Amino acid sequence: MQCELCGRDCECKPADVDGVRMMLCPGCMRHGKGVKETQASSSLNQGTFPGRIKKPTEKDVYKDMNKELVTDWNEIIKNARKKKGLTREELGFKIGERTVTIGKIENGDLRPSDKVVKKLEKELNIRLIEEVKSVSDVSVGSQSARGLTLGDFIKKEK
């Protein structure tokens, strides 16, 4: 290969001379800026971001799966209260909650806290907490009396 500046036959290397790419011998290299030929600009940006892939977090998925409020807890509370002949005000007084709160709970607008659930269960003699079966336990014959499938239950919970 010949040097493009002096024409000498040598091991020339690419260099930048006033913006022009030329092949220069070691003697002429000082006239230009050295160019690293391995720096192909296109292949630089690929696959060089370690640590960007997030592992899916599985925490807390099954945390609340064992005991859940029954699907129509608000209806159960309302019906049980009426059976006992209590007004919302009276029920609220018995369990130490405001009438407005009882109303919201019965409308399904407010999910009662565990504490309130326990008080309601005791006061109205009802059951609001049920064990949630794991999916493998669900077979064709294990639908509840209300005809709800586990799928219905999950949909409602969301």
User: Which residues of the shown chain bind Zn ion in the complex (CB under 5 A)?
Assistant: 3, 5-6, 8, 25, 28
Q: How far is the CB of 5 from Zn ion (least distance, A)?
A: 5
Identify which of residues 26 and 151 has a Cβ nearer to Zn ion in the complex. 26
In terms of Cα–Cα distance, which of 105, 50, 49 is closest to 81? 105
Q: How far is the CB of 33 from Zn ion (least distance, A)?
A: 15
Identify which of residues 7 and 151 has a Cβ nearer to Zn ion in the complex. 7
Identify which of residues 28 and 128 has a Cβ nearer to Zn ion in the complex. 28
Q: How far is the CB of 26 from Zn ion (least distance, A)?
A: 8
| SS3 annotation, the chain | CECCCCCCECCCEEEEECCEEEEECCCCHHHCEECCCCCCHHHCCCCCCCCCCCCCCCCCCCCCCCEEECCCHHHHHHHHHHHCCCCHHHHHHHHCCCHHHHHHHHHCCCCCCHHHHHHHHHHHCCCCEEECCCHHHCCHHHCCCCCCCHHHHHHHHC
Identify which of residues 30 and 133 has a Cβ nearer to Zn ion in the complex. 30
Q: How far is the CB of 27 from Zn ion (least distance, A)?
A: 5
